[in-house]
Amino acid sequence: AQSVTQLGSHVSVSEGALVLLRCNYSSSVPPYLFWYVQYPNQGLQLLLKYTSAATLVKGINGFEAEFKKSETSFHLTKPSAHMSDAAEYFCAVMNNAGNMLTFGGGTRLMVKP
């Protein structure tokens, strides 16, 4: 069974500050990991994905994530937060059969001016 834990259901940062959203996973096979963003009243949009290639993955809107096998983590970062980054962020792991994405509980990011 696979699972994803996102520490912190709410994170607040100031505009221009570093964004760090935490994700830890549990998987019995090499994981395929994803970060999605959801803006209000919208569906989920893919930010980036890890599929066993480079451990540092760059995504859209200046976000990146680093896969650390020893820590079973896939934290999402952005050097400088923008007001438009305010949204909910979901980490997810794909199962080995490739037919089930398991999501974490989500982290709501708030950006203060």
Partner 1 sequence: ETGVTQTPRHLVMGMTNKKSLKCEQHLGHNAMYWYKQSAKKPLELMFVYNFKEQTENNSVPSRFSPECPNSSHLFLHLHTLQPEDSALYLCASSQDGRRTEAFFGQGTRLTVV
Residues that bind partner 1 (CB under 8 A): 32, 34, 36, 41-46, 49, 51, 90, 94, 96-106
Least distance between partner 1 and beta carbon 51 (Å): 7
**43 vs 113 by CB, closer to partner 1:** 43
**56 vs 97 by CB, closer to partner 1:** 97
Using a CB cutoff of 8 Å and minimum separation of 24, what contacts does 64-71 make? Answer: 65/23, 65/33, 65/35, 67/33, 71/24
Least distance between partner 1 and beta carbon 36 (Å): 8
Give the span between the Cα atoms of 19 and 79, in whole angstroms: 6
**25 vs 32 by CB, closer to partner 1:** 32
Tell me if residue 28 falls in helix, strand or coil: coil
**81 vs 90 by CB, closer to partner 1:** 90
What is the distance of C-alpha 61 from the center of its chain?
13
Do residues 76 and 62 touch, judged by C-beta distance below 8 A?
no
Least distance between partner 1 and beta carbon 27 (Å): 12
Give the span between the Cα atoms of 59 and 14, in whole angstroms: 21
Least distance between partner 1 and beta carbon 68 (Å): 20
